[in-house]
Amino acid sequence: MTTDTPSLVSLEYIPYLDEDGQLPAQFSGKVGVYAIFDKDKVLQYVGYSRDVDLSLKQHIVRQATKCYWLKVHLSDRPSRTILESIKDAWISENSTSPASLASEAAQWTDPIDATLTMTAEEQSSYKAGDGLIQDKLLKNIARRVEQEILAQLSDRGLKMPIRFNPKLKEKGLLDLKQ
């Protein structure tokens, strides 16, 4: 690990998932800056984290179709200023604007809002229901979206277990249980 700022182009591409359907184990508990690329190696997101592995898990759950390749720089000096400067350098080095700059950033970082997938019938039931009925409906919608996400991750070849926070499902949100 080093504090030098490597150029993004100088780093090797790492497959997001290894041949066993797992995330690269070397990033567990490590501090660093990472860039995520799609299938065609087009930059999609640049971020930094105090636990790169955990962040990568959350990103693949939220954006499975955009997470195929990585470039990672680990830091032994976990200063927000240093991490932010590396992130900014990588973004300015790139010719396209990744989601980390755009309004899409929330899709990479915030819990998944399952309520956005409500059908007209579900919206009507929600408006007509009381608090208990609404909570049950939100939980069922979150479970439906959870199954869709798990199927998508399975199609991608992910083999690691994914558990969502059950308390957030009652609010119609999905986020990894930590």
The residue among 101, 130, 163 that closes a domain is 101
Long-range contact set of residues 128-135: C-beta below 8 Å, sequence gap at least 24: 135/170
Cβ–Cβ < 8 Å for 95, 87:
no
For the chain, 178 residues long, give each residue's pLDDT as a single digit of tens: 444 678 999 999 999 999 999 999 899 999 999 999 999 999 999 999 999 999 999 999 999 999 999 999 998 877 899 999 999 899 888 866 666 555 678 899 999 999 999 999 999 999 998 889 999 999 999 999 999 999 999 999 999 999 999 999 999 999 998 7
pTM of the model as a whole: 0.88
Query: Are 90 and 140 in the same domain?
Result: no
3-state helix, strand, coil in the chain (%, to 5): 45, 15, 40
> Is 121 among the domain residues?
yes
CATH number for the domain including 84?
Answer: 3.40.1440.10
Residue 120 inside a domain? The answer is yes
The whole domain housing 135 covers 112-174
88's tokens: 């900014």
